[in-house]
Amino acid sequence: MFTASAQYYDRLYATLKDYAWDAGQIAALLRRVKPGCRTVLDAGCGTGEHARLLAADGFEVDGFDLDPAFVQIAAMKHPAGRFFEADMTDFRAPHRYDAVLCLFSSIGYLQTLDRVRLAVRCFREHLTPGGVMLVEPWFPPGRLDLNRVVRNTVEADDVQVTRVSRVEVDGRLSRLLFDYDITDGAGTRHVSEVHVLGLFTHEELLATFREAGFDVEYDPVGLTDRGLYIATLP
């Protein structure tokens, strides 16, 4: 996961992702699909940026992540929220929510459809009647550009972080290879991360959500051109 880079995550993605726009779109969508939507659980919440912005828009937002560093950052960023460390496939929160979010392709980290099914069941168990689940998928098989190499550099507070990323595919798994050069007062150090995400087809995800009892609407563009599943309970 983001073990090597958690403390620099917000600096990098502030230049790559418009969280404020995302949050505005999510808020409008939740209010359209479930009028009166108030409570939200952010699964795979990362550093809590979506949670913070949605809370500022009037929602009550909790979240969880597998990465303890992200949970700590999210809790500091949004103290009114309840954040905890957990796996999407097997978690227990003491509350039910009007909406469960699984954004920024976090669902891909589950790697297999069997684990996606387990996660979707957990999401359903934590929804109120008529609740809504928003899932932003990872890319399906055949869509990733294996020749693409992306380099991003950010500087802030006398720290410079350069990340070079590329992707490999092995069957139904993709590997994101991240190499970082981090320069601060102590000098420059190099760290690497490998992120493994499953490649699921649109039809597989649709079938999984429907098998769990959801009615599903699909937006092929979504928030980041990866699509968005809007799944509601009857």
Q: What is the pLDDT of residue 188?
A: 96
Percent of the chain surpassing pLDDT 70: 100
Query: Higher confidence at residue 15 or residue 135?
Result: 135
Domains in the chain: boundaries: 6-139+200-232, 150-198
Q: With a cut of 80, say whether residue 1 has pLDDT above it.
A: no
Sheet holding 159-170, edge to edge: 150-156, 159-170, 173-184, 187-198
Cβ atoms of 228 and 135 closer than 8 Å: yes
- For the segment 218-230, what is each residue's pLDDT rounded down to a tens digit? 999 999 999 999 9
List % helix, strand, coil for the chain (3-state, nearest 5): 30, 35, 35
pTM of the shown model: 0.96
In CATH, the number for domain 150-198 is 2.20.130.10
The CATH homologous superfamily of the domain defined by 6-139+200-232: Vaccinia Virus protein VP39 (3.40.50.150)
Q: With a cut of 90, say whether residue 116 has pLDDT above it.
A: yes
- For the segment 29-80, what is each residue's pLDDT rounded down to a tens digit? 999 999 999 999 999 999 999 999 999 999 999 999 999 999 999 999 999 9
DSSP state of 38: -
